[in-house]
Structures are given as structure tokens and as C-alpha cells.
Amino acid sequence: IAAQLLATRGHLAGARLLPLLDAADRWHAWFATARNDPKTGAIGVVHPWESGRDNVPDWDSPLAAVSADNVTPFERRDLSHIDAAMRPTKAQYDRYIALVEFGRSVGWDQVKLRDTSPFFVCDPGMTAILMRAERALIALSEANGRDDIAQTARTRLGDLEKGLDALWSDTLGAFTTLDTRTGHRGEYISSASFLSFVAGPLDGAKTQALTAHFDRMRDACQYMVPSYDPAAPAFDEKRYWRGPVWLVVNWLIAMGFEERGDTDRAAKLRADSHALVMTGGFHEYYSPLDGAPLGGGNFTWTAAAWLDWARNTNGTD
């Protein structure tokens, strides 16, 4: 996705771009082998950390089945510089490490991890982002004489489209997680539900349902997008991915809105992100209720997301 943006702006071409096409193709192919759920075609994760949304409540039920009884003692360095109220709990970390130790026990064989780990959960966020990345790879490959890569990417994209559709919950009216071990679906909206807008075209009914959820959450929060539904019992405005706003996610969701012509909702995300940075600096994440800066300070991906928007505001690099 970043390569496509840089190429569009004239910063990436020729000898600098071509090797990235092969590298991206290999990387996407790895996901198709190691993280593609054979039953649905969606992308799953063998560890919450893979999703980037480490402790979103959607992982709570799948993690509960992971035994942490024999976890090797470890030291958490995050708590040495961040308030524990803003971080995952000890019980969650015990299970995170238990999954790491399971990976070691199978020699990090990716197919064994996918097929035998106690945790393999299909994720709408990972699936949608990879779909957007495949579209970017197709466009870049076609523009640079690599039709071979474009064709394999189209095949993968077709599988991913079926996979994302399999993550739609009629009960929730949104895309959500699917625990492949139990068949249990996430029961509330997360920011990943809205990442589906960046995946590509959606049918009218799904778009209407998702935008209704977005507007409902907009009315409940001063700043969008909360990482978890403020109406959910597990919502926590300060604790990592259980409620706070992350600018890099706003950037992706806004990209999806812009690409489908929803300029009002895209502008809302941009304005909220600007306000958060202006009052709280480039923090790791922020409260959706009062904008309080949370987590670590001086985070580069927060700065990168905002600088890209700032660049587009004044038209300079």
C-alpha cells in the first residue's frame, strides 16, 4: 500500500520499485500458505500480536482456551514505562507467552501452527488490509510490465474476497472475527470492522449497515475511531486495543472512505486525528472520549499517518 502511494507521487519507480514487486509477491504468497484458513479463505492469526490489535476483546474467548499453567517466568518491560491500566493484563500476557512457547515446540512450522495451535482466529482486519495490498500489487505490476505477478495476485485476491465475506455476521451487521477452533464469532464492533472499507467494493446492504455502526459510535465518542465498540461491556477507553483511538487505523479507514467517495466520514477522521495530535502530540493512542494521550510518547507510526495527511493538505512533500 505504501509502495503504491509513493509510486503515485513519483518517489518510487524503475530499479527501486521492481524488486519490491517480487518481495511483495513472496510476502503475500506466504500469507496464502501459512495464514489462509482452508475452510473460509480468510486470513487467520496464530497469535493476537500478529493482528496488531493485541488485546482487543474479540481475542478473549479464544485465549481462554489457551492453557498458561506451565509458562516460563518472564519479565514485562512495557510496565516499566507505561501505566499498567493502559496495557494488557497479566492473565493475557501469560497466554501470549504460552502461544510463543507453543510455536517453539513445533519449530515454528507455519502449517503446523495454523493447523494445530490452540489459537487460530480469522481476522477481518488482516484480511481487509491484505486485500487492499493485493489490489496495490496488481496495479503496480500491471503498470511495470509484471503481468505474471498481477495474475497470481488476482487469484489470491479472489480467495480473500470469499474469505472476507465469510467473516460477515448477520447478527452483528458487520465483519468480525471467527474462532476456527470453536466457530464462535466476535460479538461487537471493533475498528477492524471498518477496515473492510479499504478492502475494496462492498455491496450496498453491508455498506449501509457498517456506516450505521460508524455513525452510532461517532455519536457516542468525541473522537473516532475507537478500537472497540463503546456500547460493549468490555470497552475500556484507556486500555490499549479495548477502546483507544489509533491514528494509523484512522488513516486506513479514511482511505477506504475516500476511495468510495464518502468524503464526509473521511473528513471526520482527518479532523479528529488532527485534533488529537494538536492537543496530545504523537502519542501511541488516545482516549476516544476525551482525547487524553495514552501509551508511549513520540510514536513514529502516529507521526507517519499524520504527516501523510499534512502532506496532502498543503500539496507538498
| Catalytic machinery residues | 54, 284
Q: Please give the single-letter amino acid code of residue 186.
A: G
At 76 the three-state DSSP class reads: coil
Please calculate the CA angle 219-224-226 and round it to the nearest 5 degrees. Answer: 100
The residues, any chain, with a CB within 8 Å of residue 195's CB and separated by 6 or more, are: 124, 125, 128, 129, 249, 252, 253, 256
What residues does 122 pair with on adjacent strands?
44, 178
Burial letters for 62-96: b for 16+ Cβ neighbours within 10 Å, e otherwise?
Answer: bbeebebeebeeeeeeeeeebeeebbbeeebbbbb
The residues, any chain, with a CB within 8 Å of residue 268's CB and separated by 6 or more, are: 218, 224
Compute the distance between CA of residue 275 and CA of residue 294 in angstroms, rounded to an integer.
Answer: 15
Q: What is the dihedral of CA 216, 191, 84, 294, to 10 degrees?
A: -80
Compute the distance between CA of residue 20 and CA of residue 294 in angstroms, rounded to an integer.
Answer: 35
List alpha helices for the chain, DSSP H: 2-8, 14-34, 48-51, 60-64, 90-105, 110-116, 124-143, 147-166, 191-194, 204-220, 247-259, 263-280, 300-314
Q: Tell me the angle at which helices 147-166 and 14-34 cross, rounded to the nearest 10 degrees.
A: 40
Place of cell 482527518: 270
Contact 37, 180 (CB under 8 A): yes
